Amino acid sequence: MLPGLRHALDVLRARPGVAPLAAAALGFALVAATLLQRAAALQLPAYDTAFFEQLVWNLGHGRGLASGFYGGDFLGLHFSPLLALPAALELAWPDARLLALLQAAALALSAPAAYLLLRALLQPRPGAEVAAAALSAPLPFWLGLQEAARAGFHTEALALPLVLVAGWAGLRGRARLCCACALLALCAREDQAYAVAVIGLLIALHGPARRLGAALGLVGLAWGGLLELVVMPALRGRTTSDVEPYYAWLHHATPGQLATAATAPAGWLAFAAMVAGLAGLPLLRPGWLALALPPLLGDLLSAHAPQPQLHLQYALPLVVPVLVAGGLGARSLLDRARLLGRPRPIASLAALALPALVVGVALGPLVGQRPAAPAPVLDRLLACTSGLPPAAPVAVDDAAAAPLAARPVERPLTYGGPADWVVVDVAGPQPGYVNASARAAHLAALPAEGRRLYCDDGRFQLWGPARVPQRVGEAPPPALAGHFPQRVGEAPPPALAGHLPQRVGEG
């Protein structure tokens, strides 16, 4: 055996917890560097980075969970009171990049949290700590978690380490910590009720506090049902949920269409990659692995393009049931070795990490296929929009939305009205969900609306509000008061004085 490999195995045997901690540090560095690089290149899409940035900024400034990207009560779309955490942090640094760092930290912390859970499941069997470390350390590099990192900020990521720690605490009989972590996870998003219910079932069947587990499982199911059937519809009122169109086709779907959607190979391959990430051990406990089927079918039956492939954040709801099945599969493996009187050697247990690492490095969007560093253009955008009043409503092109979202009202460009300032990215790529014809018509109408072009640096443009015709003696509408483009000889509005970009052609 090579000396370096022998030393690594000796370290793993003596201090197995070092492996998931080191993986967490490496995972955080990789994801954080990638997301910050993409932020500098304006490659964080408005959905969902700018969407969440506006929500947390408004919440931190006492305006509630309001966003120009959604017309109704956000808690009726996704029940996420846990957004109060980033809202509090953004009082110190109001920037969408803070959300990117929170996403990176939450995904990285899943490794040590999974280690705690798996170790509690496997002890006191020989090799339990090494097996737990080998299975948990690669977790931040799973394809599903790399996809979640690529998606930007989502509250499901914040919930993942909380649910895993709740499971560890329950298996150790630490009821208060278990309940506290589970409650925080439930406040992350409504679909975390299922993950909490799975953890409750695990504690009820394999933990010392079975009543706690049963209560946790029932609370999770009741919480999810109450939110989905009563609370969230009441909060939405007549506003249509953004999620509703994803499943509208089911109302008139034929059995053949349902079968085709439910057997789509891309989603099942992504699910197989998650099982392979645990060295196939979930297959040893098929009953527990079946608990991953409800969220998997929820993804497969969606008409929203990334979801059936488990791209972006859509694999996260499957992580907990797959990980629980893998932990119990590892338990069966160690039990068989003990019954045969031949405990597995340290090298074979360490090798359990290899499938996840090979798949993650070879196919992962952040590791194995990381793109070349794009040109940073964030500073250009901020310089061009330096004259934008901080409280002014703004309609923004998709790529420019995240850096400008820390304000009361920001809307997608084509949703803008006459009172909105307009930020255009003339050279940036437009994602597929942007209506290209509506955007082109909107841009063509800007000069005719009497808007002043305050900046045009070749890529970004900043347009002022539309000049609204007034009757004699009328004051301008409140939303425009103080922000009118000035006439010849007039002084600029106070918010723009001192840094007013010239019109095109002016000296």
- pLDDT, one tens digit per residue, over 391-441 is 999 999 999 999 999 999 999 999 999 999 999 999 888 888 888 999 999
The pTM of this model reads 0.88
Whether 291 contacts 248, CB under 8 Å:
no
Which residue is it, tokens 């997301």? 35
pLDDT for residue 477 is more than 50? no
Does 491 have pLDDT greater than 50?
Answer: no
Indicate the SS3 state at residue 284. helix
Amino acid at 221: L
Is 445's pLDDT higher than 60? yes
pLDDT in tens, 450-467: 999 999 999 999 999 998
Nearest C-alpha neighbor of 212 from the set 180, 163, 178: 178
CB atoms within 10 A of CB 121: 24
Short-list 47, 89, 81, 46, CA closest to 64:
81
* Confidence label for 375 from pLDDT (cuts 50, 70 and 90): confident
pLDDT number for residue 505: 35
* Residue of 499 and 32 predicted with greater confidence: 32
Q: Return phi, psi of residue 453, to 5°.
A: -90, 105
Rounded-to-integer distance, Cα 105 and Cα 100, Å? 9
pLDDT interval class at 370 (50, 70, 90): low
- Give the whole-angstrom CA distance, residue 387 versus residue 500: 6
d(CA 308, CA 270): 10
Mean pLDDT score across all residues of the chain: 88
Cβ neighbours of residue 249 under 8 Å, at least 6 residues apart? 257, 303
Domain segments of the chain as ranges:
1-22+105-153+245-376, 159-237, 378-507
- Asked if the model's pLDDT at residue 341 lies above 80, the reply is no
Cα distance between residue 504 and residue 507, in whole Å: 9
Q: Does residue 478 or residue 308 have the better pLDDT?
A: 308
Got the DSSP string for 372-434? Answer: PPPPP-HHHHHHHTTTS-TTS-EEE-GGGTGGG-SSS-EEEGGG--TTSEEEEESSS---TTS
